[in-house]
């Protein structure tokens, strides 16, 4: 549970024992990242993303198999997104803003 929500609902956030944590929770230095290809988004989409993520700054947009966010780097499958991919993207943006 997000610590902010835990504070609002007056509950103690729980964390998994390290034995049960997923690989994605491991420090990023240990995960090898393949060469990523930068992609150029249409100007309007890029501006909308910057506005939506504000105050978070997008430092790089790269092509990947799935939509993800990692320390300023936004990964997208292509420069043209399907409706389902757009839903995933906006959900991801909401999650990142909840972490602030």
Mind listing the pLDDT tens digit for each residue in 12-45?
766 666 665 555 544 444 444 456 788 888 888 8
Give 46-58 pLDDT, tens digit per residue: 888 889 888 888 8
Q: What share of the chain is helix, strand, coil (3-state, %, to 5)?
A: 40, 15, 45
Q: How far from 90 is each of 7, 16, 24, CA to CA, in Å?
A: 25, 27, 21
């Amino acid at each position: 549970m997000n610590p902010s929500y835990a504070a609002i609902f007056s509950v103690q956030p729980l964390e998994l024992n390290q034995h049960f944590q997923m690989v994605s929770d491991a420090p990023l230095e240990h995960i090898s990242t393949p060469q990523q290809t930068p992609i150029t988004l249409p100007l309007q989409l890029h501006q909308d993303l910057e506005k939506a993520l504000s105050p978070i700054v997008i430092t790089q947009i790269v092509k990947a198999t799935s939509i993800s966010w990692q320390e300023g780097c936004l990964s997208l499958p292509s420069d043209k997104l399907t409706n389902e991919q757009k839903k995933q993207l906006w959900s991801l943006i909401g999650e990142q803003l909840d972490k602030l």
